[in-house]
Structure 1
């Protein structure tokens, strides 16, 4: 409230005091037990006779205008009489004298708040007149949460009326969020954004222009209990109310929110179901949310490094808050890595139960691939970063129900670096990699595989990560001619996957050893296809050097050129050999020798069932030809 509002409040309380004074004077002139020290604790015979002789209750004339003015009256739909009742209920919280005066007028020294009957009398209203209905549960004073009518087990006129602490604070000029909802509610003011008109619904969080009370229902265990304080908070401030996500919220809560006439924006992940409430809110487009530049609030962090993340406004601010604290702990400036770490804290935990989470620890320098494959990987990262610009701002959406997701296929033999490349792309985007565990997805019972995959995609929607389907041909194989019921259900499963992948809004990578095994309908819907061929001799030489790394001590006889030229191994096999050789050297407390590498290579060939020639391992290792 403004200073003028406060001045007017005190002036009107003065009028309440004058009414109380007159009512007390009138009562004293008619009170037969004025000097009784135990007055209010019992009723004397004289008092009973006075009550019986009284023709009608005491009514004090009051000059109350027919209508009320001011933002409070407008926001809550109050009449001038409502405003008087509110001030009468507020008086004992502002001036302790009113406690004793109300106790006297209530004929009970323990009842120091006004009752419904006393409020009516002070305003010149008869007990059976229309004024009493201003205290009904559906009256604006009560539904708006401006007053509490206490004692439902008491006669109506004897029920006490009090003003909640939050309303008291507002009337006195302190506008902090009600402590009961402060844990999940924020007040924000923006110049631009959606301008609510009545009730609206958005799929995804939306920014609202002007002042808005924003509540996150995902942090609330009992949503039905917070509707009234949220509506009151918005009305006290003359603000819009933004509430969500409403997915899973009981329809009774939605109906309660929509019953109030105020600018309201609900948001959730799914489409609005008209069965949720008799009033259907106006659908609006959430857009791409606020710019990172606004959430960063002047921090020296390149926005381009964060463009791949899809977060709502509150998630962006929460991520930046975490980033600030990370930097403050080390007494340094906030970096893009801090913000990316903050983004990871906003990921839902559900996907981690269905997929193996990998925090990337590799970079582009760890990849040894042909230039063409690297170009395709760079294109995949670029699509993830700039999809909001291309598909949103430039309106290049493909149509047909296609989502904003980015789908890629990595095809190549086992060990050629497909999973490593997925980890590099995820790390370049600042995301975690989630490898879908096929054992938790594929089910022998009809329809269960689709249900499990739906859970994966639903949980992935709450995660800024890269989804990896390793050995994808097990799920996305070709459809076949129907010869029995098993073929029919297998084809239905593939058709479902086609539709679900197409509507996916995230980043998904499929890997396969045999691209020919994938259904052509899948490959047509892919954005990027990268081939991972077996490395040539020069690439194998680089792989050997990269896998051994700079920290491993190397003996003088180590000849990586020989390893690269003699043995046609994929990157995964080379990595396995390097690790085995390192263990052999560590067990001997020495540097890695050529003999260690040859031993590891021989074991790798044996493990893979490949033939070996004794001359390939000479002179470092004597082996029996196999």
Structure 2
């Protein structure tokens, strides 16, 4: 709407200013004095002492229904006199003539804005009357950030009134956010949500609560998309949404809370703040200030809401099913690439629990990667985009492995391979089975999948976990138990809780190597140490059951793991020591095609005589390769046997002539 109503109201203010100037000129003995306003003559002192205020009554102005000025007055709770004060303070910012007129009326040409006393005079109010308190810090004009009362060291009536530039711009029809909010907020209009098909059932219910005055509201995020639901809820309530970047807000030493609230009130919008994890619990005061701002406030985050922070109604946001998640990926991919994604691409992405913003960022990066390669966007590109925005917090607690192996790199028995395939199936379809079909209801159980890999060291447990992670398109995070287990009571649980909390928001497979160190059997309580060890195990039992991610536990001895953990494990894969045929395949695989081999190399002899696990075979192959590189020749049987002999010594095994045969003395 054009600001024509504003100009009409300012024209009325201009008439009152003209009257005030004419009255001053009529009693001014030296109106042409070039030094006027820079000094005070004795005659002027006498006039000041003899003068009495003559208030000029102000008729209520046209409210201008539908104008920006009327909307601002309604949203900030201004009455007619407040609006007149605002206009008096505003007019020198929209018409330069009034700078000099105000300087004349202030009797000081350097003071080109209205003072409190001049504003009272122009609005027909006595300087000692109650109207002056409309400009106090708690009054609607000042508390709402519409008028600033500057130069606090001066007497009250001489203090200067200033309208912030953002308020002036709003009244003139400009909706650009305040400069202090640059890089901090984006604005989502309710019209955008209508164009997208309108809000879902949860958004409509939350919107109805907002219309009824319920707030602030907290949306407990389980699928990374509570922010979209918050915007849709505000749209359902008839409000635009000022969406705050919480990471950028957390970086500000002095968050612009007043400017943020003012921006929302100017627009008649609500504020969406989340995810809250970068702010809490250090910035609880910020939440309280926003909650007291008088605008609809919708918060969201993954962590439960603590009533001590501020009073809020917490509502869980259910996760999307696999179909809706695939639709979201498809919509973003079409918008970004202009192409319809293939069914195989969407099937590979449906397992990622990402919000719309995260999906958009991942696809944007995938598109740029594809442009660099001059190719269309493929599944590896999108997975690289997901990986780039994933797991920064967990990287500090676990070692991240980007999978670089596949099924062809594994040498396993048929039953073990079948168990790994089942683990992949469970990881891919857990949302449908555990979420949509509710096959694990009640008891606080999560939608996680837990597997146990049992076998001797070097039998391929960690590599198999890497293959599983690659198959479902995730990274592998190996938990270093030396950083978890603590001798002080309760510290181990705290360390594990940090890992589980970070892992809940990460699209990765969590690997607890040598897990029997923390998932071991409970023992009979004989002293305080036993009691606290059992408390630790009890905590882990509960935490594993509520875990929402994918976890793999490895152990060298399955019997060491507590039976209560076994009951909660979904897949158990045994990794036996490889037989002769498997060892032959492992030798061939570990030596690889690039390493030159001498004609006397007998891998069948190595497989039959040396009972080694895959990890030891790989170590032997690497040692032999170094020897060949040093000598500059192809790998000979003597060099390979010498590497095996060195591995035996490292493992503390005896070098028996019967095992080495003809190579025992070479």
Query: How far is the alpha carbon of 1:472 from its aligned partner?
Result: 0.4
Per mean C-alpha deviation after superposition, the further-off stretch among 577-586 and 70-79 is: 70-79
Look up the match of 1:281. Answer: 312
Look up the match of 2:550. Answer: 507
**Out of 460, 464, 488, which is 2:531 matched to?**
488
Look up the match of 1:435. Answer: 478
CA contact 1:67–1:79 (8 Å) conserved in 2 = no
**Out of 476, 487, 501, which is 1:444 matched to?**
487
Q: How does 1:176-191 map to 2 (within 5 A)?
A: 176-189=176-189, 190=193, 191=198
Look up the match of 1:12. Answer: 9
Look up the match of 2:84. Answer: 84
Look up the match of 1:229. Answer: 259
Change (3 A) 1:589 1:227: same
1:215 aligns with 2:241: no
Query: How far is the alpha carbon of 1:287 from its aligned partner?
Result: 3.0
Partners of 1:469 and 1:357 in 2: how far apart?
A: 12
Q: How does 1:400-549 map to 2 (within 5 A)?
A: 400-549=443-592
**Out of 255, 261, 274, which is 2:288 matched to?**
255
CA contact 1:247–1:268 (8 Å) conserved in 2 = no
Change (3 A) 1:412 1:89: same
Look up the match of 2:37. Answer: 40
Secondary structure of the equivalent of 2:634? Answer: coil
1:239 aligns with 2:282: no
Superimposed CA distance per residue, residues 376-418 of structure 1 (whole angstroms, 9 cap, x where no aligned partner): 3233334334444444444445321222332221111111111
Q: How does 1:27-426 map to 2 (within 5 A)?
A: 27-59=24-56, 61-64=58-61, 70-189=70-189, 190=193, 191-192=198-199, 194=203, 195-196=206-207, 197=210, 198-204=215-221, 205-207=226-228, 208-209=231-232, 210=235, 211-219=240-248, 220-222=250-252, 225-244=255-274, 245=276, 246-277=279-310, 280-288=311-319, 291-296=328-333, 297-299=335-337, 302-330=345-373, 332-426=375-469
CA contact 1:202–1:266 (8 Å) conserved in 2 = yes
CA RMSD of aligned residues (A): 2.7
Superimposed CA distance per residue, residues 357-380 of structure 1 (whole angstroms, 9 cap, x where no aligned partner): 222222222122233333332333
Per mean C-alpha deviation after superposition, the further-off stretch among 506-515 and 73-82 is: 73-82
Change (3 A) 1:513 1:230: same
Change (3 A) 1:76 1:561: farther
Partners of 1:328 and 1:96 in 2: how far apart?
A: 53
The TM-score with structure 2 as length reference comes to 0.85
Per mean C-alpha deviation after superposition, the further-off stretch among 413-422 and 153-162 is: 153-162
Change (3 A) 1:343 1:129: farther
Query: How far is the alpha carbon of 1:586 from its aligned partner?
Result: 1.0
Superimposed CA distance per residue, residues 500-551 of structure 1 (whole angstroms, 9 cap, x where no aligned partner): 2222233221111111111111111122222222223333232222222232
Look up the match of 1:579. Answer: 622
Superimposed CA distance per residue, residues 318-338 of structure 1 (whole angstroms, 9 cap, x where no aligned partner): 333433444455555444333
Superimposed CA distance per residue, residues 157-198 of structure 1 (whole angstroms, 9 cap, x where no aligned partner): 322222223233333333233332222322234343534413
Partners of 2:451 and 2:594 in 1: how far apart?
A: 34
Partners of 2:436 and 2:3 in 1: how far apart?
A: 48
Secondary structure of the equivalent of 2:243? Answer: strand
Change (3 A) 1:231 1:519: same
Secondary structure of the equivalent of 2:573? Answer: strand
Partners of 1:471 and 1:173 in 2: how far apart?
A: 65
Secondary structure of the equivalent of 1:317? Answer: helix
CA contact 1:247–1:270 (8 Å) conserved in 2 = no
Change (3 A) 1:72 1:503: same
Per mean C-alpha deviation after superposition, the further-off stretch among 492-501 and 609-618 is: 609-618
Partners of 1:328 and 1:94 in 2: how far apart?
A: 49
CA contact 1:426–1:465 (8 Å) conserved in 2 = yes
Secondary structure of the equivalent of 2:590? Answer: helix
Look up the match of 1:623. Answer: 665
CA contact 1:223–1:253 (8 Å) conserved in 2 = no
Q: Which 4+ stretches in 1 moved above 6 angstroms?
A: none
Q: Which has the higher helix share?
A: 2
Superimposed CA distance per residue, residues 9-56 of structure 1 (whole angstroms, 9 cap, x where no aligned partner): 333333333332232222222333322211222222222222222232
Partners of 2:373 and 2:141 in 1: how far apart?
A: 52
Query: How far is the alpha carbon of 1:200 from its aligned partner?
Result: 0.3
Change (3 A) 1:174 1:380: farther
Secondary structure of the equivalent of 2:227? Answer: coil
Query: How far is the alpha carbon of 1:107 from its aligned partner?
Result: 1.7
Query: How far is the alpha carbon of 1:618 from its aligned partner?
Result: 4.7
CA contact 1:200–1:282 (8 Å) conserved in 2 = yes
Partners of 1:392 and 1:128 in 2: how far apart?
A: 68
Superimposed CA distance per residue, residues 549-575 of structure 1 (whole angstroms, 9 cap, x where no aligned partner): 232223333333333333332211221
Partners of 2:257 and 2:440 in 1: how far apart?
A: 38
